[in-house]
Homo-oligomer: A and B are copies of this chain.
């Protein structure tokens, strides 16, 4: 199963920044292309006061800082140059995490979507939208909000595709800023299917693909969960992608590149389940030959050998 998409984690919650400039990004898009990646997904356009493009709206309304570089423009130009599709990730004001109220996210993004499409919609590589709030089964009440956001993205852009990347509430679903590695009260297969069927039912028509994060369950659980995900996606007319995490959740340093054997287990499970596409979180820190984590360059080499073995 080949990885054909990657997130770009500028505006990060938990991955230290590499401080790359245009030159490094240009080179990285080349490294991506060389292993078959055709899609880059900017994970979010902003989080609280940090934003990726000089949004007049967000600076005025949310007190956001003027960004030193227009990353959206840069990524789109580089995506054009390298022939990649670019997905735009919505803004996360952080208010939902503070108050439990999603209305604010809807209101903010109504403006963001319009603003962004007006400024950047003409780029050839602008290929879709990523509904960036990461949901899990506990966010069922949020289905309406996601449908609204997805619909808005489609309406403004002539129906460009949208996707979400939720997590499975498995044993490794713990906060990054704790020293814990796992928890006891993981979701069962049956609960997972019940709850996500309800969510997917509510999202029909406004979301085109679901890319479950693959790192919260144990490796021997992959097969069962992936089979259910595929079944549900088929039932509700969604494309079934896997978000193959290329960082290691099992280690005290949160987070460094994953051991290749683990990535391979996860990709193989997605292949067996008949998934439509694999994307990764994310190439530039965890798989790139120029990553500050040198393990990433070795992972790149191991992954290339794996691709060759598939031919």
Contacts and interface: CB of A to CB of B under 8 A. Distances in A.
B19 A259 contact: yes
Q: How large is the interface on A (under 10, 10 to 19, 20 to 34, 35 or more residues)?
A: 35 or more
Interface string A104-143: 0000000000000000000000000000000000000000
Given A252-B14, A293-B292, A65 B219 contact: yes
Interface stretch (A36-44, A177-185, A205-213, A236-244): A177-185
A307 interface: no
Number of copies: 3
Contacts of A292: 293-295, 298
A261 B301 contact: no
B258 A17 contact: yes
A302 B24 CA distance: 12
A255 B14 CA distance: 12
Contact of A49 (B24, B220, B291): B220
A123 to B, nearest CB: 23
A24 B298 contact: yes
A150 interface: no
Interface in A1-51: 12, 14-21, 24, 49-50
Nearest to A67: B261
B21 A305 contact: yes
Contacts of A302: 19, 21
Contacts of A24: 298
B261 A50 contact: yes
Contacts of A254: 252-253
By Cβ-Cβ distance, the 3 closest A-B pairs, closest first, are A19-B298, A17-B259, A292-B294
